[in-house]
């Protein structure tokens, strides 16, 4: 693993979010990297509420959360199974999230008693799935002083700190302590070696990186297994079927392209600036039979057609 992902795939209106919160991705300890995508850390201090939206990845997350500080605040942790719909989170006042994004297929070695499909579409208190205490939660979240977003988060300094992969590489001491606490917590639980988890992670990664994999039967043939075996493996270790994973990665790419379309200069000749997306061509690249099918899936997931989303701009 070369480091946390630097893309914004899955985040709806990423520029709007990064202008309001301090967002960082951090690497886990080496023994955890085969199972985890990254840690993701968010701090905010908002004068006005903001609703963040995410098209979930085919990944389980463990999320430590603090909403508010002082007597009225609350801290808790939960397992967030794969979200089947657009996820909305209202942010207001001050708060903090320390999240763990597992690789698709990477969660079960830490909670081997249940198939990962048990958590799909659900958010469950962490203590129901993994051993945890209130002290664990407070240790991960740390105090409220280090790593804040600096008021509304709209200063140039705050915006720079929100760029994924740029900030937090050598973070403040409070942030480093939170990452160390996440490492210690997860290493204290597992992971438990499981060849089937390794296989599920490799197959999910192939779907993500190999643009020629457009159908489940293609993947099954390439792996020399039956489609039914592949579906059982994904249900037990990823939490959703391989077809769902293929479709979700398509929508993530389309969303990222729509973000680039929103930043395009309509009057540009194409020199030095991004150009508008050819949605019919992108539909073909992603394996859709036609543009209408891409538009339908995008609209059902994000809530608006891709061209309308692009017109809204960041």
Judge whether 251 and 242 are in contact, CB under 8 Å. Answer: no
Residue 9 binned pLDDT confidence (cut-offs 50, 70, 90): confident
User: Is residue 191 predicted with pLDDT exceeding 50?
Assistant: yes
Judge whether 5 and 37 are in contact, CB under 8 Å. Answer: yes
pTM of the model: 0.84
Q: What are the tens digits of pLDDT across the range 87-116?
A: 999 999 999 999 999 999 999 999 999 999
Which among 123, 122, 118 is positioned nearest to 108, based on CA atoms? 118
User: Is residue 198 predicted with pLDDT exceeding 90?
Assistant: yes
- Residue environment code for 252-281, b if the CB has 16+ CB neighbours within 10 A, otherwise e: bbbbbbbbebbebeeeeeeeeeeeebebee
**Helix (H) / strand (E) containing 43:** strand 36-54
d(CA 256, CA 143): 34
Residue 220 binned pLDDT confidence (cut-offs 50, 70, 90): very high
Question: 153 or 36: whose pLDDT is higher?
Answer: 36
pLDDT, average across residues 10-36 = 93
Residue 158 binned pLDDT confidence (cut-offs 50, 70, 90): very low
Q: Please give the mean pLDDT across all residues of the chain.
A: 84
Which among 215, 66, 78 is positioned nearest to 144, based on CA atoms? 66
Q: What is the pLDDT of residue 147?
A: 42
Residue 25 binned pLDDT confidence (cut-offs 50, 70, 90): very high
d(CA 63, CA 24): 14
pLDDT, average across residues 143-171 = 41
Backbone angles phi, psi at 307, to 5 degrees: -70, -40
Judge whether 86 and 301 are in contact, CB under 8 Å. Answer: yes
Task: Report strand pairing: 11-12 vs 61-67.
Answer: unpaired
List of domains in the chain: 11-189 (no CATH), 195-312 (1.10.10.60)
Task: Report strand pairing: 87-102 vs 74-80.
Answer: unpaired
């Amino acid at each position: 693993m070369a480091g946390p992902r630097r893309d914004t795939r899955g985040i709806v209106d990423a520029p709007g979010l990064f202008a309001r919160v301090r967002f960082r991705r951090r690497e886990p300890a080496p023994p955890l990297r085969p199972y985890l995508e990254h840690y993701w850390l968010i701090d905010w201090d908002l004068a006005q509420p903001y609703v963040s939206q995410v098209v979930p990845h085919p990944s389980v997350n463990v999320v430590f959360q603090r909403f508010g500080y002082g007597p009225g605040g609350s801290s808790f942790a939960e397992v967030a199974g794969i979200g089947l719909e657009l996820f909305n989170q209202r942010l207001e006042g001050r708060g903090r999230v320390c999240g763990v994004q597992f690789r698709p297929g990477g969660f079960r070695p830490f909670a081997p008693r249940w198939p990962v499909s048990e958590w799909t579409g659900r958010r469950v208190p962490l203590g129901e799935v993994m051993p945890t205490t209130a002290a664990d939660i407070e240790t991960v979240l740390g105090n409220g002083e280090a790593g804040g977003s600096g008021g509304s988060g709209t200063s140039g300094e705050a915006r720079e700190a929100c760029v994924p992969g740029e900030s937090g590489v050598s973070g403040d001491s409070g942030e480093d302590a939170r990452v160390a606490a996440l490492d210690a917590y997860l290493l204290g639980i597992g992971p438990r070696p499981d060849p089937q988890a390794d296989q599920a992670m490799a197959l999910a990664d192939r779907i993500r990186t190999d643009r020629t994999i457009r159908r489940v039967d293609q993947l099954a043939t390439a792996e020399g297994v039956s489609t039914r075996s592949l579906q059982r493996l994904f249900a037990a270790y990823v939490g959703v079927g391989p077809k769902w994973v293929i479709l979700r990665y398509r929508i993530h790419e389309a969303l990222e392209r729509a973000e680039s379309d929103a930043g395009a200069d309509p009057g540009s000749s194409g020199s030095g600036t991004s150009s508008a997306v050819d949605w019919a061509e992108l539909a073909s690249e992603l394996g859709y039979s036609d543009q209408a099918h891409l538009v339908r899936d995008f609209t059902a997931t994000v809530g608006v057609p891709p061209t309308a989303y692009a017109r809204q701009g960041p």
